[in-house]
Amino acid sequence: MNDEATTVVADLEAGIGTLTRLDAAAVDATVVVVEPTLRSIDVARRAIAVADEQRQGRVVVVANKVSDDDDRARIDEAFEDRVLIVVPEDPAIDVADRLGLSPVDHEPQAPAVAALESLVDALGLASV
Amino acid sequence: MKIAVVGKGGAGKTTTSAVLARSLGRRGARVVALDCDTNPNLGLSLGVGDSETERLLTLRDQVDEGEAEHAPTWDDILDRYGADAPDGVRLSVITRIENPEPG
Amino acid sequence: MEEPMPLADSSSMMRVAFVGKGGAGKSTIAGTFARLLARRGQPVLALDSDPMPGMPYALGVAVDDCPIPDDVVVSGGEGEPRWVLRSDLDAAAIVDRYAAEGPDGVRYLQFGNLWGHVVRLQKAQHAWSQVVAELDRDQWHLVGDLPGGTRQAMFGWARYADTVCLVVESTVKSMHTAARLLTLSQAKWGPSSLVLVVNKACDDSDAARICERLELPAAAVVPHDPEAGRGDRRGAAPLDAAPDGALAHAVDALVDRVVSLYSFGEEVAG
Q: What is the per-residue pLDDT across C121-174, written as a single tens digit (0 to 9) for each?
A: 778 888 888 898 899 889 999 999 988 777 665 556 788 899 999 999 999 999
How many domains would you assign to chain C? Answer: 1
Query: What is the mean predicted confidence (pLDDT) over C181-192?
Result: 82
pLDDT for B102: 34
DSSP for B37-82, please give it: SSS--HHHHHT--HHHHHHHHHHHHHHHTTSSPPPSSHHHHHHHTE
**Mean of the per-residue pLDDT values for chain A?**
92
Angle (nearest 5°) at CA C169 between A42 and C52: 25
pLDDT at C124: 81
pLDDT at A34 over 60: yes
Half-sphere exposure of C265 (CA within 13 A, CB side): 15
Residue C116 confidence (pLDDT) above 50:
no
| Torsion sign over Cα A115, A117, A121, A122 | positive
Which among A15, A37, A71 is the nearest to C52, CB-wise? A15
A11 forms beta bridges with B5, B35
Query: Residue A89: inside a domain, yes or no?
Result: yes
Asked, for residue A3, whether it belongs to a domain, the answer is: no
Q: Give A103's contacts in chain B (Cβ within 8 Å).
A: 15, 18-19, 45
**Chain C neighbours, 3+ Cβ pairs < 8 A:** A, B
Residue among C23, C52, C172 whose CB faces B50 most closely = C172
A113 to chain B: which residues are within 8 Å by CB? 19
Domain that includes residue C133, residue range: 15-263
d(CA C146, CA C161): 11
Q: Which residues of C57-71 are buried (b: 16+ CB within 10 A; e: fewer)?
A: bbbbbeebebbbebe
For position C150, which CATH number holds? 3.40.50.300
| pTM beyond 0.80 | yes
ipTM, interface predicted TM-score of the complex: 0.95
Q: Which residues of A touch C235 (CB under 8 A)?
A: 37-39
The per-residue pLDDT for C184 is: 83
Number of domains in chain A: 1
Residue C159's pLDDT is: 82
Contact B31, B25 (CB under 8 A): yes
Residue C2 pLDDT greater than 70, yes or no? no
Burial class (CB in 10 A: 0-12, 13-18, 19+), C144: buried
Q: Minimal Cα–Cα distance from C203 to chain A, Å?
A: 13
Q: Which residues of A touch B13 (CB under 8 A)?
A: 11-12, 14, 33
Q: What does the pLDDT read at residue C120? A: 65
Q: Does C119 touch chain A (CB under 8 A)?
A: no
Neighbours of chain B (3+ CB pairs under 8 A): A, C
Question: Does residue A15 sit within a domain?
Answer: no
C28-59 pLDDT, tens digit per residue, is 999 999 999 999 999 999 999 887 788 999 99
In angstroms, what separates the C-alpha of C180 from chain B's closest C-alpha? 8
Asked whether residue A127 is assigned to any structural domain, the reply reads no
| Interchain contact, C22 vs B38, CB within 8 Å | no
Is B20's CB within 8 Å of A29's CB?
no
Among A39, A70, A97, the residue with its CB nearest the CB of C57 is A39
pLDDT of residue B61: 75
Residue C242: band (very low, low, confident or very high) from pLDDT cuts 50, 70, 90: very high
At B83, the amino acid letter reads A
- Residue B10: which of C22, C151, C176 has the nearest Cβ? C22
Nearest CA in chain C to A100: C172
Domain annotation covers residue A6 = no
- Quick check: is A45 in a domain? yes
Share of chain A above pLDDT 70, in %: 95
Nearest-10 Cα torsion for C71, C74, C75, C76: -140
State the Cα–Cα distance between residues B20 and B15, nearest whole angstrom: 8
* C10 within domain boundaries: no
Supply the mean pLDDT for chain C: 87
Q: Report angle CA B73, B74, B78 to the nearest 5 degrees.
A: 120
Residue C157, pLDDT score: 75
Q: Are C84 and C22 in contact (CB under 8 A)?
A: no
Is there a domain that residue C269 lies in? no
Contacts of C145 in chain B (CB under 8 A): none
Mutate to test the interface with B, among A9, A42, A89, A102 (most CBs of B within 10 A): A9
CB C127 within 8 A of CB C121: no
The predicted pLDDT at position C151 comes to 66
The pLDDT value given to residue B60: 77
Inter-chain CB proximity C23 and B8 less than 8 Å: yes
**Which CB contacts under 8 angstroms, 24+ apart, belong to C92-96?**
C92/C135, C92/C136, C92/C139, C94/C68, C94/C127, C94/C131, C95/C45, C95/C131, C95/C135, C95/C140
The answer to whether residues B19 and A85 touch, using CB atoms and an 8 Å cutoff, is: no
Q: Which uninterrupted H or E stretch holds C29?
A: helix C26-38
C203 found inside a domain: yes
CATH code, domain carrying A116 = 3.40.50.300
The yes-or-no verdict on residue C6 having pLDDT over 50 is no
β pairing state of C107-110 and C100-101: antiparallel
Task: Answer whether residue C119 shows pLDDT above 70.
Answer: no
Sequence-distant (≥ 6) Cβ neighbours of residue C183 within 8 angstroms = none
pLDDT exceeds 50 at position C218: yes
- Determine the Cα–Cα distance for residues C39 and C31; give it in Å rounded to an integer: 13
Residue C8 has pLDDT above 90, yes or no: no
pLDDT in tens, C63-91: 777 888 888 999 999 998 888 999 999 99
Looking at residues C98-122, what average pLDDT do you find?
79
The helix (H) or strand (E) run that includes residue B3 is strand B2-7
Out of B71-80, C75-84, C215-224, the most confident range is C215-224
Question: Which chain A residues have a beta carbon less than 8 Å from that of C232?
Answer: 37, 39
Angle at A45 between CA A57 and CA A60, to 5 degrees: 35
* DSSP element (H, E) containing A94: helix A91-99
CB-based contact, C170 to chain B, within 8 Å: no
Does the residue A95 lie in any domain?
yes
Parent domain of A34: 28-122
C139 by Cβ neighbours in 10 Å (0-12 / 13-18 / 19+) ranks as middle
Q: C87: which residues sit within 8 A by CB, 6+ positions away?
A: none
- Contact check, Cβ <8 Å, A97/C172: yes
* CA C268 – CA A115 distance, rounded (Å): 50
CA distance C239 to C57: 11
